[in-house]
Amino acid sequence: MLDKRGDFMTEVLANNTSLDSVIQTENNVETSQSDNVWSKYSHAYNTLIPHFPIYQYLKHKVISSFKKIISYSEPKLIYDMGCGSGRMLKELAENGLVRAIEKNPEMFEIARDTHQVDPNIHISNDDITSLKLPTNEVDYFVFSNVLYHLPPEEASRVLDSTFNSLRPGGIVLIAGPKPNFNMVDVWNGEVPSLKAAGVFDRYPEEIDVFEACNKEIIKKGIFNACTNQELEQLLQTKGFNIFNSESIYHGHSYLVGAMKPLTFQDLRTSPIVIQNIARYLDIPNNLRLSKDDNLEMGVAVSSEDFAEIFALRFARYSHFDMIRFKTNPSKMLIDEFDKCSIQLYLRDLSIGKIIGTGRLTSKKHSILCSEDIYDYSKSVKDLESSAELSKYAIDQLSHHNPNIGISFLQFINEVARQTGHSSVLGITKTNLRSYIRRAGYKPLEEKVINVGEGIYSNVEVFPFRIEL
C-alpha cells in the first residue's frame, strides 16, 4: 500500500509506473481485474460518495432543478435512470413518486434494501435501453453518469424515448464525462476535502477499494464522452430546449438541463390557467375591463389572455430560467405564483396586442415572491392583507410612455383595493424611484439592496409600498 493514500495516481504518472504494478503493491486489495475488488466497489461507493464535494454539488443541482418543471401534475413522476446505490432517491421522493432504474445487481440491492419501506420509491433491476416508458406522463428524468456507458445510437434512442415520455414542460438533467475527463485530476481535486473531513481515517478499506477500481477506470478509458455543446445540439435535435449547461467535476464533466417545450394549447389547458385565483375572486365588472383611448386595462380570465401575458412578460427575462414555446421564440418562466395571483394586462387596441402586464400576489393565497430578497415583515405590520406587485410591471415604466405606465399602476392598485388588500408592496430598480413616487408609492426604507442572483442580479433595488 502507498504511504499516502490519495496520491497514488499522481505517483503513477510522475514515475511512469505501470498501473498493474502499483495495484499489485497494495495490501489486502486484489488487482482491479479481480472480481473480489469490484464486488466490494458498490459498498465502497455507497459509503464514500456522499462525502465528495463534487457529488454534493451535483445532488444540489438535481434537487433544485425541480423549480424549473412547468407541468403542474400532482404528484410529480420522476425517473432516476441509473440510480446507482440510490443516494439521491430520498430527496427526489420528497418531490413526487420516484421510479429508479439500476442495471448493476450490487448497486440495485443496496438501493432496494435502503429504500424498500418508502412507498414513494420503486426500484427495478432493469436496463434503461429496453425500458418501456409511459407517454407524456413523466415530469423529471435524471441521468447521472449513465449515458456515456451506451453506444451513441443507443443513447440517442434513449433520449427519443425520454422526450416522448415527458409531459410538456417536463425536464431532463444529464451529467457525464467530457473528452478531457481525467480521473487523476478529478480524484486529486477531491482528496484535500476528503482528508480534511477525516474520510480517509474513518474508511481506509473503502478508500483502498475505491482507488483500486479507479485505476481500472484509467486503464479502460472513458468512452462516448462529449462536450456540453455536442450534448446540447443532440438534445435540440430531439426537440428539447436547453435551460442550463455548465461544467462540473473540476471541469471534467458536463451538466446539461433541458425542457420539453409547451405549446400555447398546453398552457391554455394547464392548471396554471384553469385554477387561477382571479377566476374565483369577486372583482367588480368595471375593473375587469377599463378602456382609455386606444388602451385597455383588465384582469385576465381567458386562456388566450394568460398565454399572451406569459409570453410577453418572460420574453424580457430571457437571461433568467426559461422555457420556449414552440410557436413563439420568447424565453419564458412560469412559476407557481402565477397560479395563485391576479394577472393584469395593458392592451394596445390599435394593434390588438398586450403591451404590458402586472401580477398581484396575495399573502392570503401564497408567500410573497420577494421575501428572498427583502423581508417585508421588518417594515409592514399588516402583511397578511398586503399584495405584492410583480417586478415586471414596474420595469415597464422604462419601456412605455411614463404616463401610460403610471396609469396602469394606478389601475393595478385599484384592483388590489377592490379585492380587499390594504396595501401593495414591491421591489424595483433604483433608477425607477421617481416613477414610483409619481404613482403614489413610497420607499419602505431608503436602504438600497444589491441582489446577488435572480432577475435583478447585481442590480441595486429598493422596496416600496402604497397604502390603499
Q: For residue 444, give the CATH number of its domain.
A: 3.40.630.30
pLDDT confidence of residue 23 = 32
Q: Does the pLDDT at position 450 exceed 70? A: no
Q: Are residues 255 and 277 in the same domain?
A: no
Continuous segment of H or E residues that includes residue 310: helix 303-315
More confident residue, 287 or 440: 440
Q: Are residues 216 and 334 in the same domain?
A: no
Q: Among 228, 259, 290, give the residue marking a domain's end.
A: 259
Residue 196 is classified by DSSP as: H
Q: Among 234, 259, 284, give the residue marking a domain's end.
A: 259
Can you tell me the mean pLDDT for 57-66?
84
Query: What's the rounded Cα separation, in Å, for the pair 217 and 187?
Result: 12
Q: Does the pLDDT at position 95 exceed 90? A: no
Q: Note whether 423 and 440 are within 8 A (CB).
A: no
241-248 and 96-101 strand pairing = unpaired
Continuous segment of H or E residues that includes residue 188: helix 183-196
1 in any annotated domain: no
Cell (9 digits) for 421:
388588500
Q: Are residues 245 and 394 in the same domain?
A: no
458 in any annotated domain: yes
Query: What's the rounded Cα separation, in Å, for the pair 232 and 6?
Result: 34
140 in any annotated domain: yes
The whole domain housing 310 covers 264-467
pLDDT confidence of residue 34 = 41
pLDDT confidence of residue 302 = 78
Can you tell me the mean pLDDT for 155-176?
92
295-299 and 253-259 strand pairing = unpaired
Separation in Å, CA 205 to CA 39, 114, 116, 178, 187:
13, 22, 27, 30, 17
Q: Are residues 185 and 313 in the same domain?
A: no
334 in any annotated domain: yes
**Residue owning grid cell 432543478:** 65
Q: Are residues 280 and 242 in the same domain?
A: no
Q: Are residues 197 and 141 in the same domain?
A: yes
Q: Are residues 348 and 423 in the same domain?
A: yes
Q: Among 242, 259, 276, give the residue marking a domain's end.
A: 259
Q: Are residues 50 and 179 in the same domain?
A: yes
At 331, the pLDDT band (50, 70, 90 cuts) reads very low
User: What is the pTM for the complete model shown?
Assistant: 0.64
Continuous segment of H or E residues that includes residue 233: helix 228-238
In the chain, the number of structural domains is 2
92 in any annotated domain: yes
3 in any annotated domain: no
Q: Are residues 174 and 320 in the same domain?
A: no
Q: Does the pLDDT at position 135 exceed 80? A: yes
Query: What's the rounded Cα separation, in Å, for the pair 187 and 165?
Result: 36
Q: Are residues 325 and 202 in the same domain?
A: no
**Residue owning grid cell 369577486:** 282
pLDDT confidence of residue 30 = 39
Q: Are residues 274 and 154 in the same domain?
A: no
Q: For residue 123, give the CATH number of its domain.
A: 3.40.50.150
Q: Are residues 270 and 203 in the same domain?
A: no
Can you tell me the mean pLDDT for 318-335?
38
- 70-79, 140-149, 268-277, 351-360: the lowest-pLDDT one: 268-277
pLDDT averaged over every residue in the chain: 76
